[in-house]
Amino acid sequence: MKFYYVYILQSESDPKHYYTGFTKDLDSRLKSHNSGQVPHTLKYKPWRIKTAIAFTDRKQALDFETYLKSPSGRAFAKKRL
């Protein structure tokens, strides 16, 4: 079965910084964030996975990522995830 992941990273160098993303390969994606291959997360590396949620439906995963990046989604994540 194929999984799609929505993840929240927390900066280890500045723990108040978070990054939300989507991937099919969580381990590989974390490595790319920590090796500096992702310009948006370069400044606050290294990162650790704070939360990862697996979906079997790609569209549901992408919709959830979009929600988490919205103001109400960020409030939900801060309170519940």
Q: Are 18 and 8 in contact (CB under 8 A)?
A: yes
For each successive 10 residues of the chain (81 residues), what is the average pLDDT?
97 97 98 97 97 98 98 95 88
- Domain 4-80 part of CATH 2.60.120: no
- pLDDT reported for residue 53: 98
> Can you tell me whether residue 1 is helix, strand or coil?
coil
Residue 46: strand, helix, or coil? coil
Check residue 43 and give its pLDDT.
Answer: 96
pLDDT number for residue 75? 96
SS3 61: helix
Q: Which pLDDT score, from 0 to 100, does residue 64 have? A: 98
pLDDT, mean over the chain: 97
Instruction: Report whether 6 contacts 55 (CB < 8 A).
Output: yes
Contact 55/61 with Cβ under 8 angstroms? yes
Quote the pLDDT of residue 47. Answer: 98
**Per the structure block, which two tokens stand in for 59?**
């569209």
